[in-house]
Amino acid sequence: METGMNAAISIRDLTVSFQGKPAVSEVSFDVMPGELTVVVGRSGSGKSTLLRAVNRLNECFEGCETDGRVAVRLAGKTLDAYAPGTDPERLRSRVGMVFQTPNVLPISIERNLLLPQKLVRGVDGAGARDIMERVLDDVGLLDEVKDRLRQPAATLSGGQQQRLCLARTMALEPEILLLDEPTASVDYRSSEHIERLLLRLAPTLPMLVVSHSLGQTRALADRVILIREGSLAGEWRRTSPDADTAFDELLSSAF
């Protein structure tokens, strides 16, 4: 295993438990920059918990305990996510996350994109609007919503909402991206948009994606991590010899 020096995310001996029951136990791996990493596993195997451990979002849930080390590389420096001096808000604002189900804020489309920029990054005015248009364009939403920016975000369709959430995360210009089954609850068109965007971003933006779909994993992943009952159960790399057969073997044991 790599030393984790240059890794974008380095996870060592990570154990997360809720009310004393472990959801993730003793997991170690690295996410290297430029290598799109996909986590697969049955539902309930602890994939989401693993993902949330990176930006300390598990702390929002009651009775959660986290052990082990998670380090992320931000602005050229390695930041220990769970060190006492670490500011969780800064960590979360630099490590973007998109959820399984679209979670637009109950405000207008435009405010969904502008408010976080203003609050988290202090970007306001024309600069923020430029960023807004760029990210909307990136997720293929600009043409669909540019005339209704002031309408509540909840009026969008599910797929549009999910793309809006991705855009909202991108607007904060994160250095690492976490995606929890980003296409699980969207229509085909949105799903395609999202996947295309992820492939385009992958070379420059380190990403950790949880996926439930075989096809998506095959299309996206440079690397696959298999989680079974909270533990690491297998790995795959696109660059490894006989990658195709290994992929099939791994995935057949996963799904």
Partner 1 sequence: MLAILLFLLWFSLPLCNADALSKLLAWDWRPFQGQFGILPMVAGSLLLSFSALLLAFPVSVGICCFAHGMGPAGPAALLMRFVKLMTSVPTVIYGFVGVFVLVPLMREVFRSGSGFSWLAAMIGLAILVLPTIVLMLHSQFMIVEPQVKLTATALGMTPAQRLLHLVVPNSGRGFATALVLGFGRALGDTMIPLMLAGNAPQVPGSVFDSIRAMTAHIALVVATDSQSLAYLSLFACGLILFLSSTLVNLGLQWLGRPDGRKE
Is position 182 an interface residue for partner 1 (rule: CB under 8 A)? no
Which segment (7-15, 23-31, 111-119, 232-240) binds partner 1 by CB under 8 A? 111-119
Closer to partner 1 by Cβ: residue 16 or 172? 172
Is 130 buried (19+), middle (13-18) or exposed (0-12) by CB count in 10 A? exposed
Q: CB 92 → partner 1: shortest distance, Å?
A: 4
Looking at 5, 83, 119, 199, which residue binds partner 1 (CB under 8 A)? 119
Is position 205 an interface residue for partner 1 (rule: CB under 8 A)? no
Looking at 45, 48, 49, 55, which residue binds partner 1 (CB under 8 A)? 55
Alpha helices, H only, 60-202: 88-94, 109-116, 125-138, 142-145, 158-171, 188-201
Cβ-Cβ contacts under 8 Å for 19 (sequence gap 6 or more): 62, 63
Give the DSSP H or E segment for 243.
helix 243-254
- Spell out, one character per residue from 128 to 157, where the chain touches partner 1: x when CB under 8 A holds, - when not: ------------------------------
Residues 68-107 that bind partner 1 (CB under 8 A): 89-94, 96-97, 99, 103, 105-107
Closer to partner 1 by Cβ: residue 60 or 75? 60
Provide the edge-to-edge strand list for the sheet that holds 95-98: 95-98, 176-180, 207-210, 37-40, 223-228, 231-237
Is position 57 an interface residue for partner 1 (rule: CB under 8 A)? yes
Which segment (32-40, 164-172, 184-192, 201-209) binds partner 1 by CB under 8 A? 164-172
Tokens of 87: 């500011």
Which segment (72-80, 125-133, 168-176, 225-233) binds partner 1 by CB under 8 A? 168-176
Amino acid at 218: R
Number of residues counted as binding partner 1 (CB under 8 A): 25
Angle 227-232-233 from CA coordinates, rounded to 5°: 75
Looking at 32, 115, 214, 246, which residue binds partner 1 (CB under 8 A)? 115
Paired residues of 224 in beta bridges: 38, 236
- For the four alpha carbons of 118, 34, 71 and 182, in that order, the dihedral sign comes to positive
At residue 145, φ and ψ (nearest 5 deg) are -115, -5
Q: State the residues that interact with partner 1 by CB under 8 A.
A: 55, 57, 60, 62, 89-94, 96-97, 99, 103, 105-107, 115-116, 119-120, 165, 168-169, 172
